[in-house]
Amino acid sequence: MKYTVVLARSVPIDLRVELADRLTNQFGLPAEQSQKLVSRKAGRLLKPTTKGRAEKLLGVYQALNLPVTLEEVADDDVTSTAATSFPTMPAPSAPSASIASASSAAVFAPAASAVVAEPVTTADVMPPAAIALAEPPPPAATFASPVVPVMAAPSISDVGAAVPAVTQTPTVERTFTDDVPAEAAPETKQRRFPLRQRVLLTALVPLAVYAVVTSIGSGLNTRQVTNQISRDAAAALAASVGTSVNIDDVNQLDTQLRALLQQPSVGFIAVNTPDGLQFFRSKNEDADFLLGEKVNQFIEVNPGESTYTYNDRPADRYKLQLQQLKDSGVDTGDAAKLLEQRINAPENQRVMTTHYEVQNIGVYERDGSRVAGSAKPAPGQTPLFTVAVGVITNEVVNATSRALWLNILAVAIMGALAVLLAVFTARRIVQPIEELVQAADKISLGQLDTPVKVGRNDEIGDLARALERMRLSLESAMERLRQRRRRA
């Protein structure tokens, strides 16, 4: 039983170069022979041979995911193939033919022990186009030599067994071995990096890096600038409050604090005396008792921080008030019912977030006047009182966020535009190259009747014109060869 390898469809153009290299490296085929083999259409790739040889070729094609199968061939099919491998030679009918046959036998006949393992047809060595263009052999009389003695003409079978051993180039099936050499290194497939991907990466990676760095830098810079402006405003307001309020008169202090809270940007004011007395007022008087406690904890825990975010859920405040009312032991009555109604009200379930820029300063007396200083006094100094002012920065935070998102949106739009332009440019470069590759493949297969399209005035157009000149030159050379054949 013999075996052969059957190709379901022709090898794609982009894999032919790699397949030809593998055939040349593994089987020692000439480059031209490998190109002819990979250019074959669907069908058998080699004549029936041993299973080991067929499996070796099968593995090369399967490594590139090509549609090939191993097919068994009956012995009678092998015999018929071998019988028709060489054209029948006519019997010599003239003395000159006898002399030529004798000379050929004397020159080309191998030793008696030499045996040709497998006959190879001319179609296995040369493509149909090359066979059609090949010049016919000279007449038999030209091989005659006067110095060679006349000998009996060899049989046709002897001539058929001798000629292939000298005149034929190596074929795929003659290079197969049943075993792969043990020292053969495993083949590594080189990763393909298409030109289209290179163009896209070259155009988009720098733009992406620039966009990310610009967005982050712009966002951080904007936030830093706005925070510094809010911090300076809060410090100025705290100094103004500390040098103007009267902590000796509680009623007057409360009036002054309420008047300051009329400004839209002022969120709360806290005045603390060294003996533990605190005056706290905010825009929402219902939240004063809880917000004042949260602000004092924030200032104590984070003395170096100035940005404070307060999440207020009215229902939680009413629950705390109700619990305090129950803990006091006083008859709750209508007050408790009112608090429960407020707790269950839907509008009190929402969480309201407020951003504050907090500045805490100490007020000292020097030379009969008040001056603002650090809330933490130096050793031996005691402030008259401390003032903590919270400036509402919701608008500043929202404006910063809007600016950041607008910047990101602009970068995204520019990035999308850059992607479209890069894809268009890559297509303009790669598509003509692929067309020129197809044209070059046709020329290599002897199809010289299709002109190479030249539609560009750049380097790719220069390459197309060079291929067209090469096609015309080959076509002229072939035409001259045909004319010589006709004249002969």
Output the six-digit token pair for 182: 């043990």
Mean pLDDT of the chain: 74
State the pLDDT confidence band at 78, using cuts at 50, 70 and 90: low
Report the C-alpha gap between 448 and 129 in whole angstroms: 11
Q: Are 189 and 62 contacting, i.e. CB atoms less than 8 angstroms apart?
A: no
Looking at residue 180, what is its pLDDT?
40
Q: What CA dihedral angle connects 141, 143, 144 and 149, to 10 degrees?
A: -140
Do residues 278 and 418 both lie within one domain? no
Residue 340 has pLDDT above 80, yes or no: yes
- Band of the pLDDT at 126, cuts 50, 70, 90? very low
Residue 476: which pLDDT band, with cuts at 50, 70 and 90? very high
pLDDT above 70 (res 133):
no
The answer on pLDDT for 24 being more than 60 is yes
Q: How confident is the model at residue 191 (pLDDT cuts 50, 70, 90)?
A: confident
Considering the domain architecture, whether residues 214 and 140 belong to the same structural domain is answered as no
Cβ-based neighbours of 28, under 8 Å, separated by 6 or more: 170, 175
pLDDT at 225: 80
Burial class (CB in 10 A: 0-12, 13-18, 19+), 120: buried
Does an H or E element contain 309, and which?
strand 307-312
On the question of pLDDT at 92 being above 80, the answer is no
DSSP readout, 349-390? SS-EEEEEEEEEEEEEEETTEEEEEESSPPTT---SEEEEEE
CA neighbor of 137 nearest in space, from 183, 110, 102, 100? 100
pLDDT at 137: 42
Domain end, chosen from 167, 191, 215, is at: 191
Q: Where are the alpha helices (DSSP H) in 245-357?
A: 250-260, 288-301, 314-327, 334-344
Same domain for 204 and 279, yes or no, is yes
pLDDT in tens, 223-239: 778 778 888 888 888 88
Q: Are residues 370 and 417 in the same domain?
A: no
| pLDDT above 60 for 341 | yes
Q: Are residues 92 and 144 in the same domain?
A: yes
Same domain assignment for residues 88 and 69: yes
State yes or no: pLDDT of 128 exceeds 70.
Answer: no
User: Residue 187: its pLDDT value, please?
Assistant: 52
Inter-CA distances, 349 with 250, 308, 318, 341, 345, Å: 35, 22, 11, 12, 7
Looking at the fold, whether 269 and 285 belong to one and the same domain comes out as yes
pLDDT at 477: 92
pLDDT of residue 97: 34
Range of the domain at 60: 2-191
More confidently predicted of 386 and 203: 386
Same domain, 118 and 250: no
Lowest mean pLDDT among 140-154, 369-383, 392-406, 408-422: 140-154
Say if residue 397 is in the same domain as residue 409.
no
Same domain, 16 and 118: yes
Which of 360, 376, 401 delimits the end of a domain? Answer: 401
Q: Residue 474: what pLDDT?
A: 92
Q: Which of 43-52, 81-90, 224-233, 289-298 has the highest mean pLDDT?
A: 289-298
Q: Tell me what pLDDT residue 473 has.
A: 92
Amino acid at 365: E
Given 163, 191, 219, which residue is the final one in a domain? 191
Q: Does 211 lie in the same domain as 83?
A: no
pLDDT of residue 127: 41
List pLDDT tens digits, range 258-299: 888 888 888 999 998 888 788 899 988 888 888 888 888 888
Lowest mean pLDDT among 61-65, 85-89, 243-247: 85-89
pLDDT tens digits along 385-409: 889 999 998 888 888 888 888 888 8
Q: The tokens of 256 are what?
A: 């002054």
Q: Give the residue-averaged pLDDT of 15-37.
A: 83
pLDDT at 313 over 50: yes
The total domain count for the chain is 4
What type of residue is 30? P
**What was the pLDDT predicted at 168?**
43
pLDDT at residue 320 tops 90: no
CATH code of residue 275: 3.30.450
pLDDT value at residue 330: 67
Q: Which two tokens stand for residue 115?
A: 């045996």
Q: Clarify whether residues 259 and 279 are in a common domain.
A: yes
